[in-house]
Amino acid sequence: MKNILVVFTGGTIGSAASEGTIDTAGAASFKLIRQFQAHGENHQHVRFTPIEPLRLLSENLAPAAWQTLIAAIEARQPSRYDGIIITHGTDTLAYTAAALSFYFHALGIPLLLVSSDYPLDDAKANGLDNFMCAVEFIRQQGLAGVFVPYRNQGQVTDVHRGSRLACSLQLSGDFFSVRGKSFMRYENGRFSAVDSLDKECSLTAGGDKALSLKANFSERILMIKPYPGLNYAHFNLDGVDAVLHDLYHSGTACASAQWGENYSLVEFIKRCRERHIKVYLAPSIKSADAYQSTRALIGQGAEMIWNMSIEAAYVKLMLAYGNFGDTLSIMAFIDRDIAGEHLA
């Protein structure tokens, strides 16, 4: 018998559609367990303990919700369970998966986030499939860490590392790991490793990597997305401790003042430096060669967060600035791979 803590937080998987509107509903969350008991072949081998510390659509999530969620889990003494399943909306799924991956990096049991692309009453919904995969992962694998099982429409279910999950594709409910490589695949009731080396890393992760962290996620990190015509004069830096600047796919952003200094990230970095605000750049794969624009940004003092998704970089910065007070400690934390977030 496997004892599983189920943490309901709302989202589409905990919602119902009524008169053209989808919103969270109390009965919808527990419908998931009823559906599992009706369709899951091994339902008699698991015992669920449900709690509901939050009920919201995930687009309405703020970092304070992570503190509430973490506190609720810790109050239940996670070591008493064989695994934890958290239901969550899809809009901010990648961010919460990263937050829990970093905070619970030393957790000795599997923690899985489960979502649904449609409310559970919709025949197209993948929520039950994702939940059943999570249960079977706890039963069959039992690997410590934070994972996200998700079945894209028309495909088999993939199990993603929480620290490598990217936000869903535009105009789509599909999810992928960064660089397209998930952790495991689940098909016909069985798991297969996508990357055997990655699985071995999970098996060897343990107490030597443990860091003592508080659930403090700084809300003084400004994240900026690049696009043609981005005017940095529009940004007020009051109350900002650090800037995370997203990059184009080639690890670049505008470093030229050809069209005016307000469009140049180089000039914005100078402005931030005058205010003692550190600028970080992500995502980018570290290699021997880099574009001239990238070299120019780094040359002005921007700090590149290599080999990490933008979602993971953002959340890790929030946790770093919430726990450490000096630049050296912050960078040591960023550079340390604690949840499999660094890509080879």
Type and span of the H or E element at 21:
strand 21-24
User: Which tens digits make up the pLDDT trace of 245-256?
Assistant: 999 999 999 999
Can you tell me the distance from the alpha carbon of 133 to that of 148, in angstroms, rounded to the nearest whole number?
Answer: 10
pLDDT at 203 over 50: no
β strands within 230-297, DSSP E: 242-246, 278-282
Local confidence band at 9 (pLDDT 50, 70, 90 cut-offs): very high
The whole-number pLDDT of residue 164 equals: 98
Find out whether 143 and 108 touch, Cβ atoms under 8 Å. no
User: Which tens digits make up the pLDDT trace of 66-89?
Assistant: 999 999 999 999 999 999 999 999
User: Which tens digits make up the pLDDT trace of 220-234?
Assistant: 999 999 999 999 999
β strands within the chain, DSSP E: 2-7, 15-18, 21-24, 46-51, 83-87, 110-114, 145-151, 157-161, 184-187, 190-193, 221-224, 242-246, 278-282, 303-304
Can you tell me the distance from the alpha carbon of 256 to that of 249, in angstroms, rounded to the nearest whole number?
Answer: 18
The lowest-confidence range among 52-56, 190-194, 204-208, 227-231 is 204-208
Torsion of CA 146, 159, 3, 99, to 10 degrees: 20
The whole-number pLDDT of residue 40 equals: 67
The whole-number pLDDT of residue 206 equals: 42
pLDDT at 207 over 80: no
The whole-number pLDDT of residue 39 equals: 83
The whole-number pLDDT of residue 75 equals: 98
Local confidence band at 198 (pLDDT 50, 70, 90 cut-offs): low
User: Which tens digits make up the pLDDT trace of 87-121?
Assistant: 999 999 999 999 999 999 999 999 999 999 999 99
Cis omega before residue 283 (within 30°)? Answer: yes
